[in-house]
Amino acid sequence: MVFCETKHLSNFYYGAKIMIIFLYGQDTYRMREKLNEVVESYKKIHKSGLNLRYFDCSEKTAEDTFNNLKDEIRQASMFEEKKLAVVINPFLDSEFKEKFLKERKDLLKSEDIILLYEEGKIAKNDSLFKFFIKDTKSQEFQILSGQKLKNWVRRRFERYETKIESDALEMLIEHVGSDLWRMNNEIKKLVSYKNNTTVKKEDIKLLTRSKIETDIFKTIDAISQKNKKQALNLLHKHLEKGDSPLYLLSMINFQFRNLLIVKDFVEKYRPYSVILKKSGLHPFVVKKSYSLSQEFSIRELKKIYRRIFQVDLDIKTGRIESKMALDLLIAEI
């Protein structure tokens, strides 16, 4: 049962038989927007906001997330209003999944609202996933591409009362890709620069860098898989396009620095939610770095980080040609 993206969510709060909402997918930007939309719609109806609760299944604590959720729903509200319980990443907690599935019939009868929010891929044959798709109000957020991505970008400019020429739109998407977190920031920057006039191709050239950040993740992923050939091919593609070797090195340095930050939290057994709050990194960066950090030991990351620093110094002091230095760096990692 899929709920319509355009339908106002406050309509779900009264007179609806099914009070479980399931948001899932890999497009975390639009998912987060939808989550915020649900929460804000709830707050408009329930002014106190005291019956809004969050439960994070990515936090590995001694607490039983499902029982905490169940207890919260069972408690009578002081304000005689519906409760909204938001459960983050339920598929990360096997115990939560098992108990939710076991008591799903009772949960469907609840007059309160349960919103489950899951980022990333989910196995389509998962029993809990099948239940959510069949018996709850669900919406998938796939990564946008092609015409859907163009439409989203154009609508976002229109929201700021700004137009963008077709060739400028093509170039912006070519530079940024499907990362809507970064795309939204680039749009804000262009809107501010143009001051409600039309965005042109030269504006994209002036203000927007190519989607090298995303490709550097791919390069580091190739390195983590010991696929040096692929890592070198990815780097050479950027060099052939005219990207600066020093800029490429700075991006590699930046990403390995992020990996070190995240790995340090992991080594100290900090839960994912704490890393999001304490690292100071963008959620998109944390997500990518958290996954990649599993492929390296803290010792390996420190060694690589020191090697990057030395390569940077060698290039700037003229000891080695920059393109050769990049090749050697990849070969030595």
Least confident of 5-9, 168-172, 200-204: 5-9
Contact 262, 293 (CB under 8 A): yes
CB proximity list for 110: less than 8 A, separation 6 or greater: 19, 73
Q: In what order do the strands lie in the sheet with 20-25?
A: 52-56, 84-88, 113-119, 20-25, 137-141
| Sign of the torsion formed by the C-alpha atoms of 256, 265, 89 and 152 | negative
Q: Which residues contact 291 (CB under 8 A, 6 or more apart)?
A: none
**Terminal alpha carbon distance of the chain:** 49
pLDDT at 12: 45
Distance, CA of 64 to chain centre: 26
SS3 assignment for the chain: CECCCCCCHHHHCCCCCCCEEEEEECCHHHHHHHHHHHHHHHHHHCCCCCCEEEEECCCCCCCCHHHHHHHHHHCCCCCCCCCEEEEECHHHCHHHHHHHHHCHHHHHCCCCEEEEEEECCCCCCCHHHHHHHHHCEEEEECCCCHHHHHHHHHHHHHHCCCCECHHHHHHHHHHHCCCHHHHHHHHHHHHHHHCCCCECHHHHHHHCCCCHHHHHHHHHHHHHCCCHHHHHHHHHHHHHHCCCHHHHHHHHHHHHHHHHHHHHHHHCCCCHHHHHHHCCCCHHHHHHHHHHHCCCCHHHHHHHHHHHHHHHHHHHCCCCCHHHHHHHHHHHC
Across residues 36-58, what is the average pLDDT? 83
Per-residue pLDDT band for 5 (boundaries 50, 70, 90) equals very low
CA–CA dist 225, 319 (Å, integer) = 30
Cα 160 to Cα 148: distance, rounded to the nearest angstrom: 19
pLDDT band at 8 (very low <50, low <70, confident <90, very high): very low
Which pLDDT does position 59 carry in this prediction?
A: 61
| φ, ψ at 286 (rounded to 5°) | -60, -45
According to the per-residue pLDDT averaged within each range, which of 126-135, 243-252, 317-326 is highest? 126-135
Q: Are 139 and 35 in contact (CB under 8 A)?
A: no
CB contact set of 31 (below 8 Å; sequence gap of 6+)? 23, 24, 25, 117, 119, 141
Percent of the chain with pLDDT over 90: 26
pLDDT band at 13 (very low <50, low <70, confident <90, very high): very low
The predicted pLDDT at position 86 comes to 93
222: confidence class by pLDDT, cuts 50, 70, 90 = confident
Residue 17 pLDDT exceeds 90: no
Question: Which pLDDT score, from 0 to 100, does residue 87 have?
Answer: 92
The predicted pLDDT at position 137 comes to: 92
Length of the chain: 333
pLDDT for position 20: 92
Beta bridge partners of 137: 21
Chain-wide mean pLDDT for the chain?
Answer: 83
What does pTM read for this prediction?
A: 0.61
Angle at 48 between CA 45 and CA 50, to 5 degrees: 115
CB atoms within 10 A of CB 218: 12
Above 70 in pLDDT, residue 215? no
* Span 107-149, pLDDT tens digits: 888 888 999 999 877 888 889 999 999 999 999 999 899 999 9
Query: Mind listing the domains of the chain with CATH numbers?
Result: 9-141 (3.40.50.300), 146-207 (1.10.8.60), 212-332 (1.20.272.10)
Residue 74 pLDDT: 76
The whole-number pLDDT of residue 80 equals 66
**What is the model's pLDDT at position 169?**
96
Report residue 202's pLDDT band, with 50, 70 and 90 as the boundaries.
very high
Contact predicate 27/143, CB 8 Å? yes
